[in-house]
Amino acid sequence: MNEVSYLKYEGKHNGLAGWLLSTDHKRIGVMYLAAMIVFFLTAVVFGLLMKFEMLTPGRTIMGPQTYNTLFTLHGVMMIFLFIIPGLPAIFGNFFLPIMLGAKDVAFPRINLLSWYFYIIGALMILASLLFGGGPIDTGWTFYVPYSLRTGTNVTFAVFAAFVLGFSSILTGLNFITTIHRMRAPGMNWFRMPLFAWGLYATAWIQLLATPILGITLLLIMLERIFGIGIFDPALGGDPLLYQHMFWIYSHPAVYIMILPAMGLVSEIIPTFSKKNIFGYGPIAMSSLAIAFVGYLVWGHHMFSTGISDTSRAIFSLLTFLVAIPSGVKVFNWVATLYKGSIDLRPPLLFVLIFIILFSIGGLTGLVLGSLNTDIHLTDTYFVVAHFHYVMFGGMGTLFFAALHYWFPKMFGKMYNEKIAAIGAWTFAIGFNVLYFPMFILGYLGMPRRYYDYLPEFRNLHVISTIGSWIMVTGIFIIVINLLKGFLKKEMITDINPWGGTTLEWTVPTPPPVENFDKIPVITRGPYERDEHK
């Protein structure tokens, strides 16, 4: 029975039901992938429309209310439906058990439940556009008091985010238990692949930060429905406490996005430089350090809101601390590449693009983290550029890297590598043309979230909009190329096309239902190479 690949397996249910009712972690991972690509591309279209509106001053294709709705939806969908769950839900589900030498996650049925929470939450967000007071226009942050006053469908959209939180929590719970209880014999903590370390640190944030967002959103709902006074200043509430609560979750959430991505880099670099990773221990520990420090810095989102000067100084100082473990990682990656026999295949190309984009994002983050410059730059395009470099340049680029790295293993098919490289370069060039002018615009004083601008900003906006077209062309090439590979008739059976050393490259392509015929016994570190090969 274990000869059959997970794609072809037929059990109690077949066809579509065989997927929708499957508790196989690999099928659940693929179902997340399918759903997320749809939501991601939808949100890309929203972003493209926004950039088109910014082509000329004044109204180009839409009015202010539509623009407010679009940036809200773009943010909500990208963040809650793609960036936060992306890597853990898709690739974590698919590969974590295999990398640990296990047959499935600890709680397979809860895993499926978590997918349903995700889909229900996502559909609710889309449904919130269609009824009630119209599409939400609060921005993805749902700041009070506006979110309590606006007539748009905030109550329902907020509930959708609450449901998505459940999905995230259950995934985290599952991964922590899996990592603690289901590692193969001989796989001690320091023989675990670094992607698993990234997921472990992430899972703790999912578990211990998401409930804060849950309760905060619940309170927004209760205030809107019953008029309970908690955050509403008219009823004695303190809107700044709302912002504290929101960012207590949402800042660590940034690390939910980036930690698995960083773990992935630590997988791809040793594979394509044919070397053991440099500094395994520091990389693993820096994941935990980033996860912890991530809880300490949320106040830097509130520097100009009127929080006390003492806390501003403390939060600013703590913010700079994040740079240390992040720097540890980058130095170790570069040291791994150094004197390696580098094979510049598409996954590595995406990783190198990531390192550059993420470094720009990280360094501009320091500009925003220091109090005096932040006063000048807060709520300008500089911030928009910064977080797109960090999140999209970070997690987004690595999402493509992961797809190209694991695609042959997941589907037993291969894409065209040349076209993938062309797509990657187009994406990278478009990305910089789109977002780099925003740094300058922000520095010059262009505020974010406006559908209109002063004529002197025109040239930079035009360049940025052209960049959006180039970048979307890149994404289009990448997606079509993968889709063509997926639809190919010919299967590949090569177990290890890249020469990787972790356990997923020891199982058949595509993996069989139970992953392993015999649970492997681990006798060496994840990136150590056999001499004879």
Partner 1 sequence: MDNESVMENKHTEHIHRDDVGSKMGMWLFLFTELILFGGMFILYAGYRFMYADSFRVAAMRLDTVVGTVNTILLLTSSLTAVLSLAAIQKKQKLFSMYLLVFTIVCGGAFLINKYFEWSTKIHHGFYPRGPEMADLPDGEVVFYGLYYVMTGLHALHVIVGMVFLTFMLVFVYKEKITFDNSQKLENAGLYWHLVDIIWIFLFPLFYLIH
Partner 2 sequence: MEKTHSINYGTYVLVWLGLVALTTLTVAIAGLNLYSLTIIVAMAIATTKSLLVANYFMHVKSDSRVFKVFIVVCIVIFLTMIILTFFDLIFRYPAK
Residues that bind partner 1 (CB under 8 A): 23, 106-110, 169, 172-174, 176-177, 180-182, 207-212, 214-216, 219, 222, 226-230, 235-238, 241, 244-245, 248
Q: CA dist 492 to 9, 53, 262, Å?
A: 18, 45, 28
Answer whether 199's CB lies under 8 Å from 95's CB.
no
Site map 214..253 versus partner 2, x via CB under 8 A:
--------------------------xx--x---x-----
Q: Retrieve residue 311's tokens.
A: 């806390």
Which residue, 109 or 339, is less far from partner 1 as judged by CB?
109
Which residue, 221 or 330, is less far from partner 1 as judged by CB?
221
Q: Retrieve residue 282's tokens.
A: 């520091």
DSSP letter for each residue of 57-95: SS-SS--HHHHHHHHHHHHHIIIIIIITTHHIIIIIHHH
With CB cut-offs between 5 and 8 Å by kind, which of partner 2, partner 1, none does residue 295 bind? partner 2
Q: Retrieve residue 38's tokens.
A: 């749809």
Answer whether 365's CB lies under 8 Å from 390's CB.
yes
Instruction: Identify the CA nearest to 370 among candidates 305, 448, 304, 307.
Output: 304
Instruction: Identify the CA nearest to 402 among candidates 504, 529, 527.
Output: 504
Which residue, 77 or 169, is less far from partner 1 as judged by CB?
169
In the beta sheet, which residues pair with residue 380?
447
- Return d(Cα 100, Cα 227) in angstroms, integer: 50
Which residue, 131 or 226, is less far from partner 1 as judged by CB?
226
- By CB under 8 A, what part of segment 382-441 binds partner 2? none
Q: Out of 127, 184, 208, 330, point to the residue binding partner 2 (CB under 8 A).
A: 208
- Return d(Cα 366, Cα 472) in angstroms, integer: 29
- Return d(Cα 464, Cα 460) in angstroms, integer: 6
Q: Least Å distance between CB 228 and partner 1? A: 4
Task: Indicate the SS3 state at residue 512.
Answer: strand
With CB cut-offs between 5 and 8 Å by kind, which of partner 2, partner 1, none does residue 227 bind? partner 1
Please give the size of the binding site for partner 2, defined by CB under 8 A.
20
Which residue, 234 or 487, is less far from partner 1 as judged by CB?
234
With CB cut-offs between 5 and 8 Å by kind, which of partner 1, partner 2, none does residue 308 bind? partner 2
With CB cut-offs between 5 and 8 Å by kind, which of partner 2, partner 1, none does residue 483 bind? none
Which residue, 157 or 201, is less far from partner 2 as judged by CB?
201
Q: Least Å distance between CB 302 and partner 2? A: 8
With CB cut-offs between 5 and 8 Å by kind, which of partner 1, partner 2, none does residue 228 bind? partner 1
With CB cut-offs between 5 and 8 Å by kind, which of partner 2, partner 1, none does residue 48 bind? none
Amino acid at 375: I
Q: Out of 70, 98, 102, 212, point to the residue binding partner 2 (CB under 8 A).
A: 212
- Return d(Cα 92, Cα 49) in angstroms, integer: 32
With CB cut-offs between 5 and 8 Å by kind, which of partner 1, partner 2, none does residue 18 bind? none
Which residue, 65 or 311, is less far from partner 2 as judged by CB?
311
Instruction: Identify the CA nearest to 484 among candidates 422, 421, 420.
Output: 420
Q: Least Å distance between CB 108 and partner 1? A: 7
Q: Least Å distance between CB 28 and partner 1? A: 14
Q: Least Å distance between CB 172 and partner 1? A: 8
How far is C-alpha 419 from the chain's CA centre?
Answer: 24
With CB cut-offs between 5 and 8 Å by kind, which of partner 1, partner 2, none does residue 215 bind? partner 1
- By CB under 8 A, what part of segment 262-301 binds partner 2? 295-296, 298-299
DSSP at 277: P
Which residue, 249 or 278, is less far from partner 1 as judged by CB?
249
Which residue, 147 or 502, is less far from partner 1 as judged by CB?
147
Residue 57, classified by CB atoms within 10 Å of its CB into exposed (0-12), middle (13-18) or buried (19+), is middle
Amino acid at 456: E
Q: Least Å distance between CB 219 and partner 1? A: 7
Q: Retrieve residue 335's tokens.
A: 């040291």
Task: Kindly report each contact of residues 408-411 with a partner whose C-beta sits within 8 Å and lies 24 or more positions away, as own/partner.
Answer: 408/492, 408/494, 408/497, 408/509, 409/504, 409/505, 409/509, 409/510, 409/511, 410/26, 410/29, 410/30, 410/94, 410/510, 411/7, 411/485, 411/486, 411/510
Which residue, 255 or 400, is less far from partner 1 as judged by CB?
255
Name the site residues for partner 2 (rule: CB under 8 A).
Answer: 180, 204, 208, 212, 240-241, 244, 248, 295-296, 298-299, 306-311, 314-315
